Structure 1
Amino acid sequence: MFGLANPDRFMRFTRPLTPVLWGLALVLLAVGTWLSFAAPADYQQGDTVRIMFIHVPAATLGLGAYAALGVSSFFALVFRHPLADAAARAAALPGAVLTGLALITGSLWGQPMWGTWWVWDARLTSVLVLFLFYLGYMALRASIDDEAKAGRAAAVLGLVGLINLPIVKFSVDWWNTLHQPASLLRAGGTSLDPAYLAPLLTMMAAYGMLFGAIWLTSIRTEVRRRRVLTLRARAAQEA
């Protein structure tokens, strides 16, 4: 794994892997979408239950993407490794999109279930804070012209944001909230009906593959961009 920290090895290893992830993501998305519409309507929620197949994977991957950003920020800050910095930067935008999608679909799901688009309970508020951390990370990087300083400052913010991840995860257990507790991963096994479990797991796998494909593509693009900047800087010095 640490051998892949070398940019050249990373680029060689991910060249054939990236299109495979894109292909798997598209296939799983197609299958998951079909299973989602084929699943029966819930006896209480009706067809709005299908929002779950978008909301839950988006929320889960939003957390996972920030974990990737935070871990990458740690290696970038401690070891000053440019590939780790590129990985952290590449995780920010897709993570923000996934978290924003989770907030939007959560509101669409919550309105018919709770009678309101938004409540300031622990789970919703902590996910909103996660979304703001993503925006803050990207804004901080964009606000500093020096890339090295921008990377270090953003890495510190990325590490601070890791504190919010367990709050998001365990908020429904620590405080009274309108948001339902975990129904997929919990002690005693899942409480989901098999008719909903298959499409949900398929969509979660699809979102995971899609994030992996976007992340690797973005890292590879960032590595190429930095190589071009380095070559331009050398050419300017020689001139």
Structure 2
Amino acid sequence: MRSERALPRWWFGLVGITAVALILGVLHALWFAPTERTMGTVQRIFYYHVSSAWTAFVAFFINFLACAAYLKARHPKWDAVAVSAAEVGVVFGTVNLITGPIWAKPVWGIWWTWDARLTSTLVMWLLYVSYLLLRQFAAEQPSQRVWAAAFGIFAFVDVPIVYLSIRLWRTQHPGPVIAGGEQSGIDPRMFLALHVCFLAFLLLFVVLFYWRYRLERQRAELAELRARLHRLHLERSA
């Protein structure tokens, strides 16, 4: 007999599809895409670096929408969506921050530089880590979750700044290579590899997000049950 709290079958199917997509992403990034003439093999980290950034943007946009919905409806479901999206988004943001310096060191000769893109990305990561800390402190106090939701909306302000930074300011970070003007553009095989990797990361995000969302909802139900038992115990003791 299948438990109602068990993960649905479609989720396990999606895990399998995600695994295949990740393997295809590796094949495209490491073998099918041509080697970049200037940077060489190290450029292949580009497919994971950009895909992780885009996926983090998607996660933080979902967090923004869920925080706004929670402030309007005050329904625990939206709070669970918000915190789940933020946690998974921070994971992909961490991947982005790690792969960036690995790529930068052999190309720039340094691990890090405080230009607009890198600095705003680090600020974005710190903002969402701060959101998660604030949300953790408010986990047992629903009235305090309002402050976490408000902070989540505030944190999203930095996301478009990160995206536009290489368009608005002169930075050491490479300019946009897709839809970035006449000087942009990549080999079609590189374009395909990037989007295969991005699709794989999006699928991985959905897998992790849904698992984390189910966990958060069950945690909330358990906390509510404990509160009811505590109130019942107090009533009987009175």
TM-score, with length taken from structure 1: 0.88
1:175 aligns with 2:169: yes
Counterpart position of 2:236? none
1:220 aligns with 2:201: no
Decide which of 6, 14, 20 is 1:27's aligned counterpart.
Answer: 20
Matches within 5 A, 1:90-239: 90-144=84-138, 146-186=140-180, 191-239=185-233
What is the RMSD of the two structures over their aligned residues, measured on CA atoms? 2.1
Check whether the contact 2:166–2:175 (CA below 8 A) recurs between aligned residues: yes
CA distance 1:185–1:150, change in 2 (3 Å): farther
**1:127-161 deviations in whole A, cap 9, x for unaligned?**
00110011101111223464313421111110001
Sequence identity (%): 32
Partner amino acid for 1:119? T
Counterpart position of 2:64? 70
Shift of 1:232: 2.5
CA distance 1:120–1:147, change in 2 (3 Å): same
Secondary structure class of the residue paired with 2:8: helix
Shift of 1:52: 0.7
Shift of 1:41: 2.1
CA distance 1:147–1:185, change in 2 (3 Å): farther
1:41 aligns with 2:6: no
**1:166-210 deviations in whole A, cap 9, x for unaligned?**
111111111101112221244579711022122211110000010
Unaligned runs of 5+ in 1: 1-10
Counterpart position of 1:3? none
Q: Report how many aligned residue pairs link the two structures.
A: 228
Unaligned runs of 5+ in 2: 234-238
Partner amino acid for 2:48? I
* Residues in 2 aligned to 1:72 and 1:168: alpha-carbon distance in whole angstroms: 21
| More moved, 58-67 vs 176-185 | 176-185
Secondary structure class of the residue paired with 2:170: coil
TM-score, with length taken from structure 2: 0.88
Larger gyration radius, structure 1 or structure 2:
2
